[in-house]
Chains A and B, each alone.
Chain A
Amino acid sequence: MLKKRIIPCLDIRDGRTVKGVHFVDIRDAGDPVELVRQYVRQGADELVFLDITATVEKRKTLTRLVKRIAEQISIPFTVGGGISSVQDVSALIRAGADKVSVNSAAVMRPELIGEIAREFGSQCVVVAVDTKRVNGEWVVYVHGGRTPVAVRTLDWVRQACEAGAGEVLLTSMDHDGTREGFALDITQKVCEAVPVPVIASGGAGRAEHFATLFRETAATGGLAAGIFHYGDLTIEELKQYLKTQNIQVR
């Protein structure tokens, strides 16, 4: 049986791991390579690296860091941040990334998704969506959550999948950093809207939050950063708990 995935996310800035609370007020959470080793030992199923300053400051993701990580770990990982062309993707894949996640550039130019999928296959393209509820309606934000665009989240994820996205990584900005649980309603709506795997992100604070996510939505993965970085909950503890709740994990 396909297992539910537990995915630590490392937000990278200047080669260090950071975690934003509501995408501002960033605290330093350590050396990425050190964290990566720890996570793999604890049983992480996959890793996500997001170069959070890439789009805003027009920097490209740290290819060298990707290369170092790829040499050391034997589980899959996704790299995102500032990806706007097939050339960007090609460089990251060559450095050892398994998948890339696209966000702002794909919202601005949805054809990018198809271009990547045709070259590297759909399973390579994760569409990351930052969303926030505005007047009762979930809408898409770009540029690291700084800029709202007049697009409904459900419309965008459908369009992204038609264009060739192989996975959706949904972050609720309303929940991110709160540690009060995942955004269950929009996650389930996105799951119903798209035929591809959906990973939920934002709001994980306790092991129970993951159990609730997997019980109440069709999400196939749960992503978190701060809760793992600061050692509040290890992935090992989380998986043991999920097993007691009859949720299938590796």
Chain B
Amino acid sequence: MIAIIQYNAGNVCSVRNALQRLGCESVVTDDPRIIRKARKVILPGVGEAASAMRYLKEKGLDRVLVCLEQPVLGICLGLQLMCRSTQEGNTLCMGLFDTEAERLPQQGRVPHMGWNNFEGLRGPLFEGVQLSDDVYYAHSYFALPCDRTVAVCRYIVPFSAALQRDNFYATQFHPEKSGGVGEVVLKNFLKL
């Protein structure tokens, strides 16, 4: 069973639909017992960092998440919440990735919204994905590239399109909304 973490504003529904289209059953939950037992865990992300982090803390899920040993995938805001901190609401995050999320500088249109490709693809998430493939982004904050960066996207600045450390994976783009390419990434995660 795949556990999708339920939190106040997360767009859990699209992740669940995407998994369903891949023939994969999932449960949307904020129950630590179910999350610990799940085969894989997804932290989706549509929302605002400070309130999302507050909710995770209230439920004690921040501590549950960092201790998980099964594959975990953070998406969009989920990626930022897995960093040390984010400028959005000056929020202290879970620190799974040793980098920070900042606001995209206003030298271009913010939010970064739409289909963009990436470079420097590494690791199992991107098996079968080409550099010229486009995926869907919708975000105003980004994680600075670091040694855990496994894909880089360029929009105004280069930023982490994906991060990975041990069993923790995260994408700034939305694989659940990225058509066929997104399905490949999700399938790769499900295969781990």
Main secondary structure of the interface of B (DSSP, over half): mixed
| CB pair B177 A196 closer than 8 Å | no
- B-chain residues with CB within 8 Å of residue A124 when the two chains form the complex: 46
| CB pair A121 B116 closer than 8 Å | no
Q: CA separation between A94 and B17, bound complex, in Å?
A: 12
Nearest chain A residue, comparing its CB with the CB of B13 = A96
Distance (whole angstroms) from the CB of B53 to the closest CB of chain A = 13
A95 within 8 A of B: yes
| CB pair B182 A1 closer than 8 Å | no
| CB pair A76 B177 closer than 8 Å | yes
A166 within 8 A of B: yes
Q: CA separation between A165 and B139, bound complex, in Å?
A: 13
B130 within 8 A of A: no
Q: Which residues, 167 to 192 on B, are CB-close (under 8 Å) to A?
A: 174, 176-180, 182-183
B81 within 8 A of A: no
Encoded as 1 (CB less than 8 Å from any B CB) or 0, chain A from 1 to 15 comes to 111010000000000
B66 within 8 A of A: no
Given contacts A118-B48, A196-B109, contact A2 B9 (CB under 8 A): no
Q: CA separation between A122 and B140, bound complex, in Å?
A: 8
Q: CA separation between A151 and B72, bound complex, in Å?
A: 49
Distance (whole angstroms) from the CB of B129 to the closest CB of chain A = 14
| CB pair B48 A75 closer than 8 Å | no
- A-chain residues with CB within 8 Å of residue B109 when the two chains form the complex: 195-198, 218, 220
| CB pair A3 B111 closer than 8 Å | no
Encoded as 1 (CB less than 8 Å from any A CB) or 0, chain B from 100 to 139 comes to 0000001001111111110000000000000000101011
- A-chain residues with CB within 8 Å of residue B14 when the two chains form the complex: 70, 96, 98
Nearest chain A residue, comparing its CB with the CB of B111 = A123
Among B155, B177, B178, B180: residue with most chain A CB under 10 A: B177
A32 within 8 A of B: no
Q: Which residues, 177 to 200 on A, are CB-close (under 8 Å) to B?
A: 195-198
| CB pair B9 A167 closer than 8 Å | no
Nearest chain B residue, comparing its CB with the CB of A2 = B116
Nearest chain A residue, comparing its CB with the CB of B133 = A250
Q: CA separation between A195 and B108, bound complex, in Å?
A: 7
Given contacts A93-B11, A98-B177, A195-B106, contact A123 B140 (CB under 8 A): yes
Q: CA separation between A166 and B20, bound complex, in Å?
A: 29
Distance (whole angstroms) from the CB of B147 to the closest CB of chain A = 26
Nearest chain A residue, comparing its CB with the CB of B137 = A2
| CB pair A123 B139 closer than 8 Å | yes
| CB pair A167 B113 closer than 8 Å | yes
Given contacts A98-B177, A195-B110, A197-B114, contact A121 B18 (CB under 8 A): no
Q: List 13 A-B contacts (CB under 8 A).
A: A2-B115, A71-B17, A75-B178, A75-B179, A119-B48, A121-B9, A121-B46, A121-B47, A121-B140, A123-B111, A124-B46, A166-B111, A198-B109
